[in-house]
Amino acid sequence: MIKFKTFLRRLVAVIFGSTLLVLSGVTFLAAYGWLPISSGSLGSLGGLGLSFDPYTLAADHRLLWTGISAAGALCGVALIWLGVTFTRAQSRFVISEPRHGGGFGDVRVSMGSKGVRSLVAFIGESTDQVRQCDPTVSLHRKGWKVDCKVYVAHEAALPAVVDSLRSSLRQNLEHHTGLPVFKLDIQTELTPLSGVS
């Protein structure tokens, strides 16, 4: 399922790209006089009259407008392509580069972000009294930064649950990836009584 922000970004890219493509086409047609535009004044700027007559453009000016139109059309097509066909490729965390050495030797190792999030969610939900874990994970030079929103049972003692969750996340994520958790934020929500099975 595409998130709303992602959908909105793609929609804006398609709309902007389409507008750019149409404007480029209009500019090209107008520069060669193929578009029925009557010459006339475009207004004035500081007492200087601005007018446009496509039928009196010199050849070098037509060539300039052709280049501008072509560049605009290419940008428009690129934006439309990004908005329509850009598949949401799974981003990856590079956890080891050959030049850095480390526990992986001369091998470049990466992990899919979805897999890391699933791992953190599994670890969180395996913790006693945690009903659901919704993590956001990012990788920095110091290691992992993990933000977890967890739903805990209404009878849970929060200090004990948070301490267990923190210890489990740090230990297991470092064990699986070889990188430390340098920052961990936990937001807790109590599961409503009706939601407890």
Per-residue pLDDT, 45: 52
In 85-176, the DSSP E strands lie at 92-96, 109-112, 130-140, 143-152
SS3 105: coil
Top-level CATH class of 112-195? alpha beta
- Report whether 111 contacts 92 (CB < 8 A): yes
pLDDT value for 120:
94
pLDDT at 7: 75
pLDDT at position 100: 54
Mean pLDDT across the chain: 79
Q: How many CA atoms lie less than 13 Å away from 173 in the CB half-sphere?
A: 32
Residue 41: band (very low, low, confident or very high) from pLDDT cuts 50, 70, 90: very low
pLDDT one-digit tens code per residue, 156-181? 899 999 999 999 999 999 998 888 99
Q: Locate 91 and state its tokens.
A: 């981003």
125 token code pair: 């939900």
Query: What is the per-residue pLDDT for 89?
Result: 47
More confident residue, 196 or 68: 68
Kindly list the domain boundaries of the chain, sorted by start residue: 4-36+54-85, 112-195
Strand partners, 188: 150
Query: What's the rounded mean pLDDT across residues 69-90?
Result: 78
DSSP-derived secondary structure letter, 137: E
**So what's the pLDDT on residue 1?**
40
Q: pLDDT (tens digit, 9 = 90+) per residue, 84-137?
A: 776 444 477 777 766 555 556 667 788 888 889 999 999 999 999 999 999 999
Q: How confident is the model at residue 103, as a pLDDT?
A: 58
33-to-43, 50, 126 alpha-carbon distances in Å: 21, 18, 71
- Residue 164: closest CA among 144, 137, 188, 197: 188
Cα separation, 86 vs 148, whole angstroms: 29
pLDDT at 48: 57
